[in-house]
Amino acid sequence: MTTSTLKNKSIKEKHQGIATLLAFSLLPLSGFATDIYIPSLPTMAATIHVSDIQVQLTLSLFLISYGVSQLFIGSVLDSFGRYQITLVSLVIFAIASVVIANTQNIYIIYLMRIIHGLTVGAIIVAKRAYFVDMYSGSQLKHYLSLFSIIWSTGPIVAPFIGGYLQTSFGWESNFYFLALFAVVVVVLELIFSGETLEHSMDFDVKKITRIYVDMIKTTSFTLGIIMLGLAYCMVMIYNMTGPFIIEHHFKLSPVIAGYSSLVLGFAWMVGGFIGKATINKPFFKRVVVNLGLQLLFVIAMFISLGLISNLYSLIFFAFIIHVGAGFTFNNYFTYCLGKFPKNAGIAGGLTGGINYVIVSFLSYGIINFIPAKDERNLSYSYFILIMLSVLIMYLVFRANRKTSTLEH
């Protein structure tokens, strides 16, 4: 197919259901791209002869580039269309995955992971836009409500698959799996999908920049994004340290590390469900109660270390804290997007982009300060993030109270 053919290719009515399933199948790609090789991190470090912190940086570089790409890609997709950019991104993603599987050079892996982040950002934002292009009203609301649930399947399923691939075929098989997935989706997209953007907009940099600046200057919005970053950072800290604790400290297999990540991915989903179920409760009251429970359990985690320290105690406390993190994320994601209903697309890109940049820098900084050694160090990391969340929550409360005072 030529470029002009792809640009004009629309979805046939009989293929719309399959095209929608394809869009849903790509939403968890960011989780898959990070979590599938989490059980392999210790083996990767040993095989390519680099330190733990160097191989952990591959996660941070993905998150930074994924976050940055979301900041600007929405405007590009609105101007130049979704379909071609999605296809090209999938092909580049597949090539980068094969390159990683065939190199022992950590710096080439770094570069490919940056490319992963940029391409996944384009794919995810394009597929979010697909639903807005194709559906409206109650049907659109129904599909949007499934986003966080579908996304959660990545962190749940990916480490489980990765643990078995690592044990059976080695760490490289994780990246071959990602490449194969991307290639299969490209073929299916060419057969069943097409361009969904009906009216493109002019790429006006000044106008777009002005909207971004106005959003960032809104204190409660910016602090809300920081809360999102702190919540997801709790998950990412475990992802970067958990396999080393389980495989080095507890002397267990990558499969066990994969199962453990699966359980904690489920914890994040449970937190999201609880957040959705309590959506009509007073916002600040439910978030304060959640932070209080997280603080209580991380203190209990400290105390328990003097009595017991094994895989079960680690997963128990991490599970509760991750449920709380999922709850916070669900509430604040809705909070941030609801701030600017007229610019929901840009608000979503800005929210997701800044969130991932915060997570990448903060998680990498914490594991440098508190290395992945044992359950005690993990509890210290959780405690720092929860206390920062309490501080930011207080500042959000003050910003909202100040705004409501000015309005009256």
Using a 10 angstrom Cβ sphere, with 0-12 exposed, 13-18 middle and 19 or more buried, the burial of residue 282 is exposed
Contact 195, 9 (CB under 8 A): yes
Give yes or no: residues 382 and 238 share one domain: yes
Domain count, the chain: 2
pLDDT value, residue 94: 97
Domain that holds residue 293: 204-402
Q: What is the DSSP string of 183-239?
A: HHHHHHHHHH-----SS-----HHHHHHHHHHHHT-HHHHHHHHHHHHHHHHHHHHH
Residue 5 within a domain: no
- Identify whether 4 is part of a domain: no
Same domain, 216 and 156: no
Same domain, 184 and 211: no
Question: Which token pair is 357?
Answer: 């940049």
Residues 213 and 180 placed together within one structural domain of the fold:
no
Whether residues 189 and 257 share a domain: the answer is no
Q: In the listed set 194, 225, 254, which residue is the last one of a domain according to the structure? A: 194
| pLDDT for res 199 | 67
Does 145 share its domain with 250? no
CB 325 within 8 A of CB 333: no
Q: Residue 204 burial (CB < 10 Å; 0-12/13-18/19+)?
A: exposed
Is 6 within a domain? no
Compute the C-alpha angle 55/164/325, nearest 5°: 60
pLDDT tens series, the chain, 408 aa: 555 556 566 777 787 889 889 988 998 898 889 889 988 888 999 999 999 889 989 988 998 899 888 888 877 877 788 889 999 999 999 999 999 999 999 999 999 999 999 999 999 888 877 877 787 777 776 676 677 678 777 877 888 898 889 889 999 999 999 999 999 999 999 998 888 777 666 666 787 788 778 888 888 888 989 999 999 899 889 888 888 889 888 898 888 888 888 888 889 888 888 887 887 788 788 888 999 999 999 999 999 988 888 999 999 999 999 999 989 988 887 777 667 655 655 676 788 788 888 888 898 899 888 887 888 999 999 999 999 999 998 888 887 777 655 544
Q: What is the CATH number of the domain that holds 386?
A: 1.20.1250.20
Shared domain for 134 and 160, answered yes or no, is: yes
**What is the SS3 assignment for 252?**
coil
Same domain assignment for residues 288 and 161: no
Q: Does residue 3 form part of some domain?
A: no
Q: What is the pLDDT of residue 408?
A: 46
In a domain, 407, yes or no: no
